Structure 1
Amino acid sequence: MDGILPLWKPKGFTSHDCVMIIRRLLKTKKVGHTGTLDPEVEGVLLICIGQATKIVPYLTDTKKTYEAEVMLGKTTETEDAYGKTIEEVEVTNPPTEEDIENMLQSFTGTITQVPPMYSAVKVNGRKLYEYARENIPVERPKRQVTIYEITRLPQVIQKHDSFRVQVVCSKGTYIRTLCVDMGKTLGYPAHMSDLTRTQTGPFTKKNTVTFDMIETAVENNTQKQLLEPIMKGLNHLDRLNVDEDTKKRILYGQKLAKPKEIVKQNPFVVLCDQELLAIYQIHPEKPDLIKPVRVFQG
């Protein structure tokens, strides 16, 4: 089995839990996920099966879309609703619609984040949450991320101390930290009280399957029908089309002369008659050559 399984991860499971469950259900060991979701978060989690595991880094690099609730008046150790309270104040002068709108605009584009202490970012070979659990102070590395879009979402029940947003962002963005920083801009301690990932790359909620759907498909021996083609996870890369003779060389993993056809992105996908063959890149030391990064057939 080779392909992408777009799972709707339920709350209460780690991303690793999901990989283990799918390995058991599909009876295959070559399974990997593309971007961790915290146990309390539900949403789109792309699971790569078989040869699709070769594209995990390229799917991780894609844009992600989230829906989050920002709760004003309290900040926590973990920056979400599950951590110990650090600071709490009453929201006596809630921000206006205009205040929130202006604040959201200020977070669009490239921003600098300091990752939360309770995160898997590594410093000196150890994860930040390991330092946090041992109460060891450590300087956290600043990182730049991109917020492509951030918009206000309607709330079913209007609350003076919270609001909902939709965020389209680059990899590495911590929505928890974004919520805290948005609160600071509005003059209040804040945390992320709810989060759902609604899209990863081209995969949206409507594309996803649940564990129940996978179990039913296995019972009916139709599990392969749940998989999306590997190429769907690579649509954001440029394409180079080759002939049959070149195809043979690619399947042997050979370096090739840099093609005359202009490829704007690096790396890029190589196809022959719509068949996905490999991912190539311009040779880092010999710019007149291209070399394989991943080969999918043969």
Structure 2
Amino acid sequence: MNGFLAMYKPVGMTSADVVYKVRKIVHMKKVGHSGTLDPNVDGMLPIALGAATKAITTLQDGGKIYSGEVTLGFATTTEDLDGDVVERTPLTAAISNAQIDDAMASFIGTITQIPPMYSAVKVNGRRLYDYARAGETVERPQRQAVIKEFTRVSEPEFDAAAGTQTFKFVAKVGKGTYIRTLAVDLGRKLGLASCMSQLTRQESGGFTLDESTTLERLRELADAGQLEEVLHPIQHAYPDLPEVELTQAQWALVQNGGFVALNTTAPRVLVRHAGIMKAVYARTDEGGYHPETMYLANDFGGAHGANN
């Protein structure tokens, strides 16, 4: 099988846990995921099977949509509720909606983030969370992140006894954005300690949470021999590329990764043979096309690679 599964990752599981379970269910070794979710985050986790693993990077370029919650008044070591509280700025009065909304709007565009210590970013060959767990500090690299939307979607709840204020949000972001850090930076903008108190990924790689499949449902479909019901073609990673059906002569060239002349002027195309996507080809300066990514180099890809 070659294609994508739009899987739901529950709270308490790692993304690697989901990959491991999918491997067991579909009886395949070549399985990968697009975009890691922390154990305490649930939501959409695209899973690639077979040749589709080559398109994971392309799938990640599509951006992500999250819904979540920010709590103002305290900060933690992990920037979410999993960590120990390291700072408190108790609120004696509620922050106004206008203040919150203006602060959130200031993050729209390209921003600079410093990844949290409890993250998988590598510094000098070690994950940041390894340094954090060992009680060590290290200079963290700055990263650019694109924020397309960061909007409050609930009335803030002020808890006078706890000295906190909590509200829900929606964020549309580019790849590599840390929502935990966005929540912390928002609090800093308001002059308060803060953390991300809940998060769900609603959309990733063009897949929405509404169309996701649970591991239990996937197991039922596998037992019934009906996995094709939830398997999306590799083409899903290339929604804007035109498709070209190859002649037998053209396929003979493409099959061996050769250059080919095509009846199109598009910069990049998906090439198909017998209805099955085989590769992404890019136009050369001379007008011909050369292979950018080969997916199925033979005629045994099966219907799961087709637009069915």
Consecutive unaligned residues of structure 2, counting only runs of 5 or more, are 160-164, 299-308
Instruction: Decide whether aligned partners of structure 1 residues 287 and 60 sit closer, same or farther in structure 2, where only a CA change above 3 A counts.
Output: farther
Give the Cα–Cα distance (whole angstroms) in 1 for the partners of residues 108 and 124 of structure 2: 31
- 1:209 maps to 213
Where does residue 239 of structure 1 map in the other structure? 242
CA contact (8 A) 1:258 1:282 kept: no
Q: Structure 1 residue aligned with 2:231, among 219, 227, 231?
A: 227
Q: Which amino acid aligns with 2:193?
A: P
How far apart, CA to CA, are the structure 2 residues paired with 1:42 and 1:287? Answer: 48
Q: Aligned letter for 2:73?
A: G
Residue in 2 that maps onto 1:280: 281
Counterpart CA distance in 2 for 1:131 and 1:241 is 50
Indicate the residue corresponding to 1:12 in structure 2: 12
2:223 alignment partner AA:
E
- For residues 17 and 142 of structure 2, the distance between their equivalents in structure 1, rounded to whole angstroms, comes to 30
Distance 2:228 2:18 in 1: 18
Q: C-alpha distance in 1, partners of 2:233/2:214?
A: 18
TM-aligned CA deviation for residue 240 of structure 1: 5.7
* TM value normalised by structure 2: 0.87
Contact kept, 8 Å, 2:265 with 2:283, in 1: the verdict is no
Shift of residue 290 of structure 1?
A: 4.9
The one-character-per-residue Cα deviations of 1:4-36 (angstroms, maximum 9, x if unpaired) are 110011111100000110111111111110110
1:196 and 2:200 correspond: yes
Aligned to 1:3: 3
1:187 equivalenced with 2:191 (yes/no): yes
Letter in structure 2 aligned against 1:211: L
Amino acid in the other structure paired with 1:90: P
Q: Is residue 242–residue 266 contact of structure 2 (8 Å, CA) maintained in 1?
A: no
Mean CA deviation greater in 203-212 or 287-296: 287-296
Match of 2:220, SS? helix
Q: How does 1:15-34 map to 2 (within 5 A)?
A: 15-34=15-34
Q: Which residue of 1 aligns with 2:305?
A: none
* Distance across 2 between alignment mates of 1:243 and 1:222: 29
User: CA separation in 1, counterparts of 2:95 and 2:244?
Assistant: 54
Q: Given the two structures, how large is their TM-score scaled by the length of structure 1?
A: 0.90
Are the counterparts in 2 of residues 79 and 116 from structure 1 also a CA contact under 8 Å?
A: yes
**Residue 256 of structure 1: how far off its partner (Å):** 4.7
Identity in percent: 38
Q: 1:92: how far off?
A: 1.3
Would the alpha carbon gap of residues 108 and 20 (structure 1) be closer, same or farther in structure 2, given more than 3 Å must change?
Answer: same
Bigger mean CA deviation after superposition, 239-248 or 163-172: 239-248
Q: Deviations over 1:117-148 (max 9, x none)?
A: 11111111111111112222211111111001
Using the TM superposition, give the Cα deviation of residue 243 of structure 1 relative to its aligned residue in structure 2, in angstroms.
4.0
Q: Output the amino acid matched with 1:116.
A: P
For the 8 Å contact 1:63–1:168, the answer to whether it is kept is yes
Distance 1:98 1:210 in 2: 39
* Distance (whole Å) between structure 2 residues aligned to residue 190 and residue 240 of structure 1: 48
Q: CA deviation at 1:242?
A: 5.8
Match of 2:304 in 1: none
* Greater shift in the superposed pair: 198-207 or 128-137: 128-137
Inter-CA distance 159–256: structure 2 relative to 1 (3 Å threshold): farther
Runs of 4+ in 1 over 6 A off after TM superposition: 257-260, 286-289
- In the aligned structure 2, how far is the partner of 1:32 from the partner of 1:4? 10
Q: Distance in 1 between matches of 2:254 and 2:209?
A: 35
**Residues 243 and 22 (structure 1 numbering): CA distance in 2 closer, same or farther, change over 3 Å?**
closer
Mapped partners of 2:251, 2:149: distance in 1: 40
Is the alpha carbon distance of 1:287 and 1:65 closer, same or farther for their aligned partners in structure 2, counting shifts above 3 Å?
Answer: farther
CA contact (8 A) 1:76 1:87 kept: yes
Partner SS, residue 107 of structure 1: coil
